[in-house]
Each structure stands twice: as structure tokens, then as C-alpha cells.
Amino acid sequence: MIRKSCLLIASILIGQSVCVTAGVLWYVAWQRTIWRESLEEHFLAHNELVTTRTAAKLNRELNLPPDQPPSPAQLAKMQEFTESVSLPKRWSICVIDETGARVAGPGLQRQSAALTTRPGRWLLRNSEGEAPLAEALARSPERAVSGLVRIADEDHLVAARQLDHSRLAVLMLRQSRGLEDLAAAIVVPVRRVGLVTGFALVLLTGVVTRRVINRYENRVARLNEELEEKVRRRSAELLQTRDAVIFGLAKLADSRDQDTGEHLDRIQQLTCLLAEQLRGTHPEIDRAWIERLRLATPLHDIGKVGIPDSILLKPGPLTPAERRTMQRHAEIGAECLAAIGGRLGPNDFLAMARDIAQAHNERYDGAGYPRGLRGNAIPLAARIVALADVYDAATNKRVYKAPQSHAAVRGMILASRGKHFDPTIVDAFLAVEHCFKSNGQRGRVATAGSSGPLFTPRPASKRLVPTV
């Protein structure tokens, strides 16, 4: 998340920097054009004014006769006058005749490069269009004309005013290149201020964006924590509900036989003890597998709800027919759990519960029921439940028998090693028999080598308490 936010901020800053730089440069170029046009208009207007005043002064001093060429004395006076005019740098002044030839002006003997071309050939460009300078003067004899002319591939500002009663005209010329330099000098501070301000805004944007992203990330983190906490609480509630429903389903037999209900609590703990002891020898056994076993074990005799009370609660031995009816509880329970699995789809817990309900009465030597499975063909969970079920049934009182001692049941289990019970599970029983021996005492069973109890005991039921 941090790396993504940094990349986002970097891309924003780079993009904004490019936009700011391009914007400032475009603005400076635009301002430079504006300033050049403004300066051009200003100098043209000023040039017209100066040219008009100069022409008026010459008219007063020369008093030229109408339609007559100037006398040598008048030409000398015009030359003296043009040389006495003080002009800024890049400006020049001269007097031209009707053909465009210079008749007076500073450095008349030293023709400047700007005036080597006859002015009559110049094309004057202004708001009125484009026309030869001489033609523009002929159309406007009583006022000054101004505009741009092209001389030696460079634009020049020009203003001209015809003298009274003659075909002579005063002409003032200025190089426009100076306007470009002046406009560029004017916009230099604009460029500097624009770039500094722009990049300051870029940095400010980066800081603000970082703060906004931080607040967003913190908010998202808090929302994620709240959501995870809600999910944990909801998951815990669902697990509690699931356990309660599973155990409630298993307790259906409790309404028929009170001892069966207490038997469920005890066998649940005994199977977990054996499973923990077998973890090192069976790779499929892990914490999740043991948790499924803990939940599935109480359902091993769920099929007894389909057995009549006359058989289930009979105090004496069962007849062969009654025994066959009693043995049907394994198939009844498996069919019930298979029907639930058919609705839910593939489910590891229901598959284990079905295997336990159907096969916990099978024998390792193949003499069990209902299908006569042998050895490892019997599901491992069912083999574990088989030993725990027999031990708890033998050591506790039933309506048809008295309880046996731990030593007697231990001897019976050892005698059935490899016959009724899986030898590896008998070995696991011997390793934790000190916990089995405490059968009937209140408390909770702690598995050998485990970090704590596998489940919370129910206060109303009898518990096993380890002797260690």
C-alpha cells in the first residue's frame, strides 16, 4: 500500500511539473508576443508623432514653394536639420524625394545598409493592408503613415510624413529587432515568478496529497480492523452455533437414554486423547483433523434414534433378532448424515461423521458390522472411536450391565489387539491410559503433549481428569 501511494504521488507530481512548466513557458511566449505587439504599437504611434512634428518644423524653416524642387540652400538646410536631430539608438531620419531617393540625412555620403534599397520599393504593412511606401504617402499627403517594412530580411518600423507644397517626405526608421529583446527582457521576471510559484504549488500538492492518502489509508486500515473484528465475532458465533447444533443433534439419543448423553461427552474427550497421541504416526492427523474428529464423534450413535425403546432400553441380553435390529443403528446414522451431505455438497466434517457412524462397530479382523471391513479399510476416525466407545461403555454402568474396572477393561483391550482394535491405536491407548483411568471424575481431559484443552467441558456432565 505504501509503495503504491508513493508511486501515485510521484506520478501526480511529475505530471503536474510537466503541466506547470509547459503552462509557464506557453504563458511567457504569449506574454512576449503581447508585449512585442504593444511595444510595436507604442513605437509606431510615437514615431508618427515625432515624424509629424519634425515635418512641421521643416515646413516652418524651409517655406518651400509649391510644386518646385528645393533649392541648394534649402537642401543644405534640410541636411543640417536632419544631422541636428537627436534620436535614440537604432533610429535613423532622412528626407526622400518623390522617387524615394534620399536628399538629406545623417551620413548621406556614407549610405547605411538599411537604406541602400530605395524606399520607393519598400512594401509598407499596416492595418490598412500592404502597399508601396510611395503609394501610401501619395494617398495620405496631409498625415503621417506608419507600419512595417522588410529590409535585408529584417522587419523595420517606419513612419513618413510628406512636406507641405512639395513631393519631399520626412522618413524615420527603426529596427524591430530591439523590440524582441525588450519584450524578452520584460517577461523574464514573469517566467521566474511563474516557475517558482508553479513548483511551489507542485510541492504543496505533494504534501496535501500525501496527507490525504495517509488519512485514507488510516481510515481503510481502521475499517479493515473493524471488519476483521466483526468477521471474527461472527465466525465465533457461527462456530458456537455449529457446535451446539451438532451436539444437539447427537443428544437426540439423550431423550431415549440418559446414559447415552453423558457417554457422548466422555467419548468425545477420549477420542481426542488418542488422536493427539497418534499425530506423529499418521500424517493426515493435524489440528484441523482432530477438531473435525471432536465434532463428529458425538454423532457416532445418532442412528439409535431409529431403534425401538424395547430394544434400546432392554435390561437383559438381546435376542439374535433384536441384536440385528440394534446393529441397524450404524446404517441409519450413516444414511442420515449422507442425506445432509447431499444437500450441502462435499464436506470433510460430514464425510468423517458418516464414516464414524457407519464403521465404528467394525472390527480390525473383519468380524464387525455392518459391512465386515478389515484392517486399514476401516476409516482411521472410526477405528479411534471404536476403542474409546468400547472403553467408556465397559467402564460405565448401563441398564443391561454393571461397570468394569480400568484394569479389567485394559486387559480386554490388550487381548483384542489386532482382533477388535487397530494395534497402533491400542499402543496409543497404553501411552495415555493414565488419563483413561480417571474415567468418571469431574474436570477436563488434557491431552499428552498438547498446549491446552481441545474444548470447553460442559458442567452438567461427568468428565475425565488426568492423573498427571
CATH of the domain at 59: 3.30.450.20
Residue 230 lies in a domain: no
Claim to verify: residue 8 and residue 100 sit in the same structural domain: yes
Claim to verify: residue 176 and residue 265 sit in the same structural domain: no
Claim to verify: residue 273 and residue 139 sit in the same structural domain: no
Q: What angle do CA 105, 40, 163 make, to 5 degrees?
A: 35
Instruction: Give CA–CA dist 383/380, Å, rounded.
Output: 5
Higher pLDDT, 315 or 256: 315
Claim to verify: residue 171 and residue 261 sit in the same structural domain: no
Residue 265 lies in a domain: yes
Residue 225 lies in a domain: no
264: cell is 457422548
Q: What is the pTM of this model?
A: 0.50
What is the reported pLDDT for 250?
67
Claim to verify: residue 8 and residue 120 sit in the same structural domain: yes
Residue-wise pLDDT tens digits, 157-197: 888 888 887 888 888 888 777 677 777 777 777 777 777 78
Q: Which domain holds residue 326?
A: 256-436
Higher pLDDT, 455 or 36: 36
Q: In 302-365, where does DSSP find H-type helix?
A: 309-312, 320-327, 329-344, 348-359
Residue 71 lies in a domain: yes
Residue-wise pLDDT tens digits, 229-260: 988 888 877 777 667 667 666 666 555 555 55
Sign of CA dihedral 20, 26, 29, 35: negative
Q: How far is CA 336 from CA 242, 248, 256, 261, 342, in A?
A: 17, 15, 18, 19, 10
Say whether pLDDT at 430 is over 90: yes
The CATH number of the domain where 263 resides is what?
Answer: 1.10.3210.10
181: cell is 529583446
Claim to verify: residue 300 and residue 399 sit in the same structural domain: yes
Claim to verify: residue 173 and residue 263 sit in the same structural domain: no
Residue entry with cell 537604432: 90
Claim to verify: residue 171 and residue 303 sit in the same structural domain: no
Dihedral over alpha carbons 400, 401, 406, 409 (to 10 degrees): -70
As a whole number, the mean pLDDT across the chain is 79
Residue 321 lies in a domain: yes
The domain boundary, picked from 144, 160, 184, lies at 184
Instruction: Give residue 289's identity as a one-letter amino acid code.
Output: W
Smallest CA-to-CA distance from 148 within 28, 289, 36 is with: 36
Claim to verify: residue 62 and residue 166 sit in the same structural domain: yes
Smallest CA-to-CA distance from 375 within 414, 431, 424 is with: 424
Domains: count for the chain: 2
Claim to verify: residue 71 and residue 163 sit in the same structural domain: yes
